[in-house]
Amino acid sequence: MPRVLDGLAAGIGGTPLVRLRRLEEGLGGGELWAKLEWQNASGSVKDRAALSIVRAALAASRIGPERRLLDATSGNTGISYAMLGAVLGFGVTLVLPANASIERKKVLYAYGAELVFTDALEGMERAIETAREMAAREPGRYFHADQYSNPANWRAHFNGTAVEILAQTHGRITHFVAGLGTTGTFVGTARRLRGEKAGVRCIGVIPDSPYHGLEGLKHLPSVHPPAIWDPQLADEIVEVSTEVAQAMVLRLAREEGILAGMSAGATVLATRRIMRRDGPGVYVTVLPDSGLKYLSEPLFALDHELEVRAESPEAPGCAASQPTPRSAPQPTRPRRKRPREESP
Ligand SMILES: Cc1ncc(COP(=O)(O)O)c(C=O)c1O
């Protein structure tokens, strides 16, 4: 039965779990399952944390007509806060580095958030510091949501994501794999799974270098670990390079029809490595957002466009720029290199 929602906040959680049958082939008999988190109301896993943070703040009267929600985020959490501010009627101020993508800024603006830009060269750390300073200066005006230390972040996954995964796998889950950003997804889900399913293995995924293109993930060894991070919950941490994660994004799209973001490529790749090593089991990973947010990244460059135009009568732009051939050529698929996956 299609869902009927009393307001968009009710459209958060309850995301589908999908089996990746092609990508599980040849890995030792394990089942590979992916939780499609862009099906949340504003398009990412961060809706869960943002809603939990907002609900806790509303319950404690920390936000309201006079007091805005303030946080540092250039990513999905900002979009979630901004969407919830519009739905539930509170002000949202976001601090972000000036070099955040234009698409991101436009989305936040469209939702009506107030934006404060910090020096691009000083990165996210400066934005976080600025949000802290603003909240300290004007405590009556701002509630500092601070997703890195707010326990409502991981609780969203303890009470939501983990419960859903246990139900969707009928308790069969053997391995849980998630990327680490604020670490809320991993910490909340792993904490619950460990309490309810003896022997479940919980694996965190991080970029293999401080300079990476895996939006949403943090190279934990080189940053201050978030206050909510609990290393005891991780059986292991897998490092993934941007290039191989991007290759997996294309495989997900071309072999499973799933257009996901880069952090999803990283977690699917890491899960496959573990499957190859650990063999049969029920492996669940989280796909935080959709690839539609990253279409201007080099990964999605139309490197085959010219070839498609030259060879396919159905390719966009062909009809206008090319003479109609006497006998219609067979449409050809663009030749493509098979993306390389890092060996285990
Ligand atoms: C695209 C993406 N992937 C992964 C994550 C990591 O999730 P968490 O912050 O719960 O660790 C985030 C967090 O913002 C994200 O935006």
Q: Are the C-beta atoms of residues 286 and 257 closer than 8 Å to each other?
A: no
* pLDDT at residue 333, rounded to an integer: 44
Q: Is the CB of 37 within 6 Å of ligand 1?
A: no
| Cα 183 from chain centroid (whole Å) | 12
Tell me: pLDDT of 340 over 70: no
For β-strands 114-118 and 92-97, DSSP reports them as parallel
- Compute CA 194 distance to the chain's CA centroid, rounded to the nearest angstrom: 23
The number of the ligand 1 atom at minimal distance from the alpha carbon of 261 is 1
pLDDT at 337: 41
Residue among 45, 52, 77 to mutate when testing ligand 1 (max atoms within 8 A of CB): 45
Q: Is 288 in the pocket of ligand 1 (CB under 6 A)?
A: yes
- What's the rounded Cα separation, in Å, for the pair 70 and 140? 12
Instruction: For ligand 1, atom 1, name the residue with the nearest CA.
Output: 216
- Top-confidence residue, 310 or 123: 123
Q: Which two tokens stand for residue 142?
A: 């701002």
Residue 259 has pLDDT above 90, yes or no: yes
Tokens representing residue 172 in the block? 């069969």
- Token pair, residue 46, equals 């961060």
> CA-CA distance, 271 to 50, in Å (whole number)?
26
CB 260 within 8 A of CB 252: yes
Q: Is 263 in the active site?
A: yes
105 SS3 class: helix
Residue pLDDT, tens place only, 107-143 = 999 999 999 999 999 988 899 999 999 999 999 999 9
| Ligand 1 pocket test target in 124, 185, 223, 299 with most atoms within 8 Å of CB | 185
To the query of whether residue 293 is one of the catalytic residues in this protein, the response is no
- Ligand 1: centre distance to CA 253 (Å): 20
Residues 6+ apart with CB under 8 A from 181: 75, 216, 217, 218, 263
**Is there an atom of ligand 1 within 6 Å of 226 CB?**
no
Rounded CA separation 343/52 (Å): 39
Q: What is the pLDDT of residue 303?
A: 60
Q: In the block, which residue shows the tokens 């990165």? A: 123
Closest Cα to atom 13 of ligand 1: 216
Residue carrying the six token digits 């135009």: 309
Q: Which of 78-82, 245-249, 262-266, 316-320 has the lowest mean pLDDT?
A: 316-320
pLDDT of residue 299: 83
| 309 band by pLDDT with thresholds 50, 70 and 90 | very low
For ligand 1, is residue 260 a contact (CB within 6 Å)? Answer: no
Q: Which atom of ligand 1 is nearest to the CA of 76?
A: 16
Measured in Å, residue 182 CA sits from the centre of ligand 1 at: 7
Residue 332 has pLDDT above 80, yes or no: no
Lowest pLDDT segment from 9-18, 159-168, 308-317: 308-317
Which one is catalytic: 46, 105, 218, 293?
46
Percent helix, strand, coil in the chain, to 5, is 45, 15, 40
- What's the 311 CA to ligand 1 centre distance in angstroms? 40
Contact (Cβ atoms closer than 8 angstroms) between residue 76 and residue 328: no
Mode of pairing for the β-strands spanning 142-144 and 68-72? parallel
* Segment holding 249, helix H or strand E: helix 242-256
CB 79 within 8 A of CB 111: yes
Nearest Cα neighbor of 71 from 141, 125, 146, 154 is: 146
- Per-residue model confidence as pLDDT tens digits over 45-89: 999 999 999 999 999 999 988 899 999 997 899 999 999 999 999
* Domains in the chain: ranges and CATH: 8-39+160-294 (3.40.50.1100), 46-144 (3.40.50.1100)
Q: What is the DSSP string of 69-88?
A: EEEE-SSHHHHHHHHHHHHH
pTM attached to this predicted model: 0.88
Q: How far is the CA of 228 from the centre of ligand 1 (A)?
A: 14
Q: Is the pLDDT of residue 149 over 50?
A: yes
Q: Is ligand 1 within 6 A of the CB of residue 247?
A: no
Q: Helix (H) and strand (E) counts for the chain?
A: 11, 10
pLDDT at 327 over 50: no
For residue 307, the model assigns a pLDDT of 43
Catalytic, out of 42, 52, 80, 263 = 263
- pLDDT for 229 beyond 50: yes
CA separation, residue 171 to residues 54, 164, 196, 199 (Å) = 30, 10, 9, 12
* Closest listed residue to residue 277, CA positions, set 6, 12, 29, 20: 29
At residue 302, the pLDDT reads 67
Question: Between vectors from CA 149 to CA 145 and to CA 155, what angle results, nearest 5°?
Answer: 90
pLDDT in tens, 13-30: 999 999 999 999 999 999
Q: Which of 217, 228, 293 to mutate to test the pocket of ligand 1 (most atoms within 8 A of CB)?
A: 217
Residues 6 or more apart whose CB falls under 8 angstroms from that of 87 comprise: 7, 8, 9
User: Is 188 close to ligand 1, i.e. is its CB under 6 Å away?
Assistant: no
